[in-house]
Structure formats: structure tokens, C-alpha cells
Amino acid sequence: MKPNFTLRLRIFNLNCWAIPYLSKRRADRMKRLGDFLNMESFDLALLEEVWSEQDFQHLRQKLLPSYPAAHYFRSGVIGSGLCVFSKHPVREFTQHVYTLNGYPYMIHHGDWFCGKAVGLLVLHLSGLVLNVYVTHLHAEYSRQKDIYLTHRVAQAWELAQFIHHTSKKADVVLLCGDLNLHPKDLGCRLLKEWTGLHDAYLETRDFKGSEEGCTMVPENCYVNQRELEPFPLGIRIDYVLYKAVSGFYISCKTLRTTTGHDPHSGSPLSDHEALMATLCVRHSPPQHTPSPTHGPEGSQLISVLKEAWRELDLGVAQARWWATFASYVIGLGLLLLALLCALAAGGGVREVAILLWTPSVGLLLGAGAVYLFHMQEAKGLSGARAELQHVLGRAGEAQDSGPASQPALLLGQQEGDGTEEQ
Amino acid sequence: MKPNFTLRLRIFNLNCWAIPYLSKRRADRMKRLGDFLNMESFDLALLEEVWSEQDFQHLRQKLLPSYPAAHYFRSGVIGSGLCVFSKHPVREFTQHVYTLNGYPYMIHHGDWFCGKAVGLLVLHLSGLVLNVYVTHLHAEYSRQKDIYLTHRVAQAWELAQFIHHTSKKADVVLLCGDLNLHPKDLGCRLLKEWTGLHDAYLETRDFKGSEEGCTMVPENCYVNQRELEPFPLGIRIDYVLYKAVSGFYISCKTLRTTTGHDPHSGSPLSDHEALMATLCVRHSPPQHTPSPTHGPEGSQLISVLKEAWRELDLGVAQARWWATFASYVIGLGLLLLALLCALAAGGGVREVAILLWTPSVGLLLGAGAVYLFHMQEAKGLSGARAELQHVLGRAGEAQDSGPASQPALLLGQQEGDGTEEQ
């Protein structure tokens, strides 16, 4: 790479809202999306909620000349909904499916069946190693009573850890997707603090689009207006996040969003707004390298880690409560079945006993499934909690050995092995 | 690190066979294991099948003075069974749970409930970054008719990809565990070819232990003798694998295994044999650096990737067949229920109709669960197949651009972006 070299990247991100049979005017919107992507010829187009593999295959055929590389990330029962199109060759693809992703019995929400995941593509561009992540976290169906909060925090932590551990040799890291998190939400702060990623909307000096960068706005005719009532301007839950490491500097030259309608025709491409960012990567003079060793950043990191730990701890307790409750129901169901067997054998209320047999067996099997599910949930949450605990333990030791070394130690960017770990 | 510096690592690995209520003499064996680890004071002890967290906590208390760092990897309903004890501080822990891990209805095998995983610990020792992985893959219950073969191949690929993507900045990579794979099995070859890991048993010049390095031997009184009948010497399914990158050289000075009994008392520590390796890491003169660009290694890699692709492809077809079969049963069940409702309402054979209600509902729910499970299995397998397909596609392009660059290109170790990717 030449000293004065600048790499310019044009990125497109959209949650496509392409649910077969359910999403309005899906075929038309996907067709227009393909036309738009072909016309604009971005370096990378990252899409979420492309639930039908057929939609992906149609797009792939259409985009082949301008985006020769493409990948669809398969997981869960339905799929992750994630796919990517790239103008440049992609070295490597892989994916990580989140351990926790809602509840199978919340069939009307459906997230559990999707197998939400994070996809990774590694590109080598002009001698730079670029790790690009695309993801979609569990939806938030009620902000007042959000039963999925703990799962979303656990997903944010898994995402942060996946990025942290897989991007150690990357020069540039880019994360796009629908996080289903508002900018100040715990999961979003946890992700940004632990990975050191910067928010394109907050960093750019040239933004044009919806007010406050919102990616779900009331002007969009596909948006459920009632859900947006508490937010007159809309909400910002889709992101372009980035960082550069080791001698490089990345900045967001321009950021555009759609504003409730297709940039060309009047009708919107999705119920979400598209994000279009132009990023510049260049060699960094030392003062430009973002340093993770600032005191205040370190203390922010610790405070957000503690907050996440508490949230996961609550989640573990709740999951264990459900598992215990289910085990009592199992006991009760077994008792009921024994009673019904005795009644059926003894004659008398035989027909009633036989009638009650079905709900009793159903109760037993249902409670068994609930028990297994919440045991698994408790294990998953306590796994994430243990990882946070370990990071916080190291922070404590670092504080003892002086505040200057603390965040660097936490981020694993220091050589040597000066601390003990319990 | 000084030029003549040598880092010596003493590693212990054991599948502990510590299943509460089921494993024979578990408490006594865990006690003796703790005594042995304390006495020997290894650098790292990596354990599998510690299914009870209480057993881990007892060991942790006992080993605290000699192994101040410890971690238990939680996942699934029961747990992953994996834990580690380290004499040195551990920088970071994380884990990856395998997407596919057997079938929930094979309750007597139980693997599905365990949440088999790979655990990662990152250590910094004398300026070296050490990535240590511990894992346990799905068991093989019948070698003649192995219904879990595809899942184990998918797990081996996920493990290889996880190591590949998380160890890019590591100087030394170490993998220990029970792979449930014989040395020549597809999964084992795939793992070794894709990661470049070397097998301590094949590399060391100083081996003492069971014949042919077997880790399940007929001399062990806890081993099911009937299962070992086709293998008079035993089988080798537990491994210490390693590699060093970028200017370092790693070798296995000594490898020891137990031989069916505790090294001190007569009774064995587990139904598996323990592995004890002494590894040496030092600066590498250029000729010692293992090169991934040798022609034969590259063609071996491609052939094993193709073999794995075919295996996964068969698995996808089979999973889809089961999902289709389950969907027919669902249709049949719905028809039966409608018929029973009509019969019950119409009088006549009312009691029979009511009696048949339970099995019909059961059939319907069961078939629904089987359908969902196999849809998910098909998605998981086709995800892994797509990753293999991409690697093979790149291999094809590399072959077109000359054989010398091909394996390096595959392993992502070349700069520049000379190839197109479809």
C-alpha cells in the first residue's frame, strides 16, 4: 500500500422485510432493490430479512455482473435472513449462530425459528485485510415490557466477542445490520465499548436523510404507525459501525438514508430505511489512531460490563425459576396421570378419566419441553455471565496494579502476563 | 522474547467420564484426579465429560494453589462437560456451541442435550500469544452404521473454521480433546488439513504409553469390552494437536499416556486414557517454519474438502427427506383428527374415537417437532456445505492461475486480491 493511498468504500445496508406471503408488495420491492443496487454499484451490499432463499437466488442472478461475489447465511429452521453481495472477491465466509434467540412457544413472534446469526466475510483490498460482519438481533416487540431484553444483551455480547476474537488480524472492521437496539440501549453500548467500533451516523460530517438518522420513520407507509407513536421522529436501530486498527485511519465521508420512500420512485424499498455510507481508509499519522487506553473510555467499559452482568444475572435467575416451575408441573402431571389411570381401571367416571387423559399427557410433555428449554437458557446466560465475570475480574486486578494499564489489559492488547486470573 | 529462549509447556488432557449417578466410582476417581494434577503441576489441564458443575467446583477448590485460573464452559441443557485449569493467568475465554449435535429424540444417547462445544482460552506467556482450544465431538455409537457421521463431519468443519478465524494473531495454537474420531477418519483429516495442526503422537520421538497411542484400551476395566472387540489394541480418539506460526517452531518433546490404570494406584482415572505432553516452543530458523504452500499438502486439502462436501451433501438430502416425510405425517395426523372429531360428535364409536384422540394429537405434535428439527438440520448442514463450496471454488480459480499459489490462497495467507469469487 502506497503511503498516500486512500481506499474508498461504498456500503449499502437494508433490512428488506421480505417475508414470503406476509410482507406487502415483496416481489416488486425486491425487483426495485435489485435495480437500485445494480445502478449504484456499491462495493458491498449487506441485507437482512431476505427470508426466502429464492429471493436471494433471483437477486444473485440479477446482480451477478456488478456484484460477482455473494453469500446467503443459512441457519435455524427458516434461515438467518442475512445475505451479502460484493463487487470484490471474498476470501472467506463463516457464520456464528446466537446461542439464545427467544422462545419457541412465542410462535407469533417467530424469532426463535429464524436462527439469528452473525455472518463474517473477509476481503483483501489493496493489501488491507477487511473483516465485514452482518447481523440481525432479536426484535423488540414491546419497549415497556421487553421479555427479550436479556436475550438481546446476551446476543450483543456474543456478537462483540465474535468480532473481538475473529478480527485480531484485520486492518479494518465493519459491522452492518439491524441490531434492534436504540443507540443508548445497553446492548448497543456493550457492543461499542467492547469492540471499539464507531457509529457512522455520529462520526460523519456529511449526513443527509431522515431526521436524527432514524431507520424506521412514520413517513414510511409500511411501518406500523401505532408502534412508532412514542417516537414522533422514528427510531434508529440499523447501523453502520466501523474501526481501523494498527496504523490505519477510517472515516465516514458521507452517510445517506432513504426517507420513507425509494430514492427514485415514490414507494419505499422496505419498512426500514436503507443506509448508504462512503468510508475512507488511509494510513494514519500516530495522533489519528483511536486509542483504547483513555481513562474515561476504560471506566465506561467497566460500567457497561457491570450493567450487562446484572442483566444476565437477572436472566439466569428468571430462567431457573421457569425451569423449577416446569419441574413442579411435571410432578403434578405425573400425579394426575396416575390418578386418571386408577379411575379408568376402576370404572365409575371412566369416560371423564379417558377425556382428561389427552390434556394430562399434553401438560406433561409441554412442561417437559419448557423445563429443557429454560435449563438450556440458564446454561447459555450463565456462560455469557461467566465471560463477563472474567473480564470484570481482570479489570479489578488491573485497577489494583494502576488505572493506566486497565483498559488496554481488558482489551487484551498488552504483551506480557502480569496479572493472575481466578 | 530472547533469541535463544525456549518455552516449555506441560499439558494434561483427559475425558473424565464423570456422569452423575451413571459413571462408576466417580467421586473416588475425581478425587484421585485432583491429587494427581496437584502433584504433577502441569501448565494446563484440559478436561472433558465433567458433566456436574459441582465436580468442577470441588476440583477448582482443590487445585486453586497450583492452578489459579479455571473455567467451566456452560452450554446446552446439561452442559458441554468441558473445563480447564491453568497454572498461568488466562487473558480471555470464549466458546462456540456446535450448530448440529445429534437428535433430541435419541434420548438414550443424550449428546443433543449436552450442547457440545469448543472452548477457547487465550494466554500470553513470555511475550507469546497462545490460543488453547478444548473440545468434545459427538460420540460414535456404531462404527458400522454411524447415524451421526454427518454431524461429526459438520462439527469438525465448524471446529476447524472457529480455530482458523480466531487464531490469526496467535503465535502458538493448541487443541486438546476427545474428537470421537479415529486418526484416518474424514473429520480428523479435514480438521488437520484445514487448520495445519500437527498430531503430537505422530510427531514426537519420545512416546511411552498404550500401544499405538490408543486412548481407549481393553486393559481399562471401565471400558465396554464388546465395543472394542474389532480393535484388539484399542482406539485412538483423544488428541493433543498443535502448530506454531510466524517465526516460531513447536515440537513435542515427550508424550505419555496412562495404560488402563492410574499411574500411581492400580485403578484407572476414567474409561479414557490421559494424555500428557511436553511441548517446546522456540524461535524458528526459516527452514523449520511449516509451510502450507507445498504442492502435495494442497492437493490433499482439496481432496479432503471434496470428500467432506459430498458427506454434507448426503446429509442435507437425508435431512430434507425426513422433513418431507414428517410433513406427510402431519397431513395424515390432521386428517385423522378431523375424522375422530366427526366420529365423536356423531355418537356410535364415540369411546374409541376419544381413546384415539391422544395418540393422534401426539402423532401430530411429534411429527411437527421432527419436521422443525430436520428443517433446522438441513439449514445447518447446507450452511457448512456452502462454506466448503466457497473454499473449493477458490481452489478451482487458484488452479487456473497456477498450482503454486493454490494452497496459500486457500488458507488466506496471501496478500492482494487476484481472484474472482462467485
Domain co-membership, A123 together with A162: yes
| Grid cell digits, residue A192 | 461499542
Q: Are residues B254 and B361 in the same domain?
A: no
With beta carbons under 8 A apart, name residues in chain A contacting B416: 124, 127
Identify whether B175 is part of a domain: yes
Question: What pTM did the predictor assign?
Answer: 0.89
Give the model confidence (pLDDT) of A342-393 as tens digits: 887 776 676 777 677 777 887 888 888 889 888 888 888 888 898 888 888 8
Res A328: pLDDT: 93
Does A292 fall in a domain? Answer: no
Least confident of A150-159, B163-172, B276-285: B276-285
Reduce the secondary structure of chain A to three states and give it as a string.
CCCCCEEEEEEEEEEEEECCCCCCCHHHHHHHHHHHHHHHCCCEEEEEEECCHHHHHHHHHHHCCCCCEEEECCCCCCCCCCEEEECCCCCEEEEEECCCCCCCCCCCCCHHHHCCEEEEEEEEECCEEEEEEEEECCCCCCCCCCCCHHHHHHHHHHHHHHHHHHCCCCCEEEEEEECCCCCCCHHHHHHHHHHCCEEHHHHCCCEECCHHHCCECCCCCCCCCCCCCCCCCCECCEEEEEEECCCEEEEEEEEEECCCCCCCCCCCCCCCCCEEEEEEEEECCHHHCCCCCCHHHHHHHHHHHHHHHHHHHHHHHHHHHHHHHHHHHHHHHHHHHHHHHHHHHHCCCHHHHHHHHHHHHHHHHHHHHHHHHHHHHHHHHHHHHHHHHHHHHHHHHHHHCCHHHHHHHHCCCCCCCCCCCC
Domain contains B168: yes
Q: Are B396 and B389 in contact (CB under 8 A)?
A: no
**Same domain assignment for residues A268 and A315:** no
Q: Look-up: residue for cell 444473485? A: A60
Of A254, A283, A312, the one marking the end of a domain is A283
B87 and B63 part of one domain: yes
Which residues 106-125 in chain A show a CB within 8 A of chain B? 113, 115, 120, 122-125
Contact A93 B362 (CB under 8 A): no
Domain range spanning residue B308? 299-397
The per-residue pLDDT of chain A, averaged, comes to 87
Instruction: Please identify, among B223, B256, B283, the residue that sits at the C-terminal boundary of a domain.
Output: B283
> Residue B416: inside a domain, yes or no?
no
- The predicted pLDDT at position A343 comes to 80
> Residue B408 falls within a domain, yes or no?
no
A397 to chain B: nearest residue by CA? Answer: B89
- Report which of B33, B53, B224 is spatially closest to residue B139, judged by C-alpha positions: B224
More confident residue, A350 or B39: B39
Query: Which residues 383-402 of A have a C-beta within 8 angstroms of B?
Result: 383, 386-387, 390, 394
Q: CA-to-CA distance for A159 and A99, rounded, in angstroms?
A: 11
Domain count, chain B: 2
Identify whether B418 is part of a domain. Answer: no
Asked if A276 and A171 sit in the same domain, the reply is yes
Q: Are strands B248-257 and A128-136 parallel, antiparallel or unpaired?
A: unpaired
Determine, yes or no, domain membership for B420: no
A63-86 pLDDT tens trace? 999 999 999 999 999 999 999 999
Say if residue A417's pLDDT is above 80.
Answer: no
What residues of chain A lie within 8 A of the CB of B56, using their CB? none
Q: Name the DSSP letter for residue B149.
A: H
**Same domain assignment for residues A82 and A177:** yes
Separation of alpha carbons A171 and B74, rounded Å? 32
Average pLDDT of the segment spanning B7-36: 95
Compute the radius of gyration of chain A from its Cα atoms.
25
- The beta-carbon neighbor of A390 closest among B93, B372, B380 is B93
CATH number for the domain that contains residue A66: 3.60.10.10
Smallest CA-to-CA distance from B154 within B318, B370, B387, B372 is with B387
Task: Say whether both A267 and A386 belong to one domain.
Answer: no
B91 touches chain A (CB under 8 A): yes
pLDDT of residue A410: 53
Over 80: is that where the pLDDT of A422 sits? no
**Is residue A161 less than 8 Å (CB to CB) from chain B?**
yes
Residues of chain A contacting residue B355, judged by C-beta atoms under 8 Å apart: 354
Q: Are residues B63 and B119 in the same domain?
A: yes
How high is the pLDDT of residue A379? Answer: 87
Q: Are B276 and B381 within 8 A, CB to CB?
A: no
- Whether B176 shows a pLDDT value over 50: the answer reads yes
Q: Are residues A143 and A251 in the same domain?
A: yes
Interface predicted TM-score of the whole assembly (ipTM), two decimals: 0.87
Distance, C-alpha B358 to centroid of its chain: 40
The pLDDT of residue A370 is 87
Instruction: Confirm whether A274 is domain-assigned.
Output: yes
What integer pLDDT is reported at residue B344 of this predicted model? 75
* Residue B92 shares a structural domain with residue B166: yes
Instruction: Answer yes or no: is pLDDT of B236 > 60.
Output: yes
> In B73-220, at which residue ranges do the beta strands (DSSP E only) sit?
83-86, 92-97, 117-125, 128-136, 172-178, 198-199, 207-208
Active site residue A272: yes
Least confident span in A301-305, B290-294, B355-359: B290-294
* pLDDT score for A15: 98
Same domain, B263 and B305: no
Model confidence at A320: pLDDT above 60: yes
Query: Can you tell me the mean pLDDT for B45-52?
Result: 97
pLDDT at residue B197 in the model? 97
- Per-residue pLDDT tens for B352-409? 776 777 778 878 888 888 888 888 888 888 888 988 888 888 887 777 776 544 444 4
- Give the per-residue pLDDT at B295: 43
What per-residue confidence (pLDDT) applies to B267? 86
Report the pLDDT value the prediction gives residue B406, as an integer from 0 to 100. Answer: 46
Residue A85 at interface with chain B, using a CB cutoff of 8 Å: no
Boundary residue ending a domain (B283, B313, B342): B283
Nearest-by-CA chain A residue for B70: A422
Is B232 found in the same domain as B88? yes
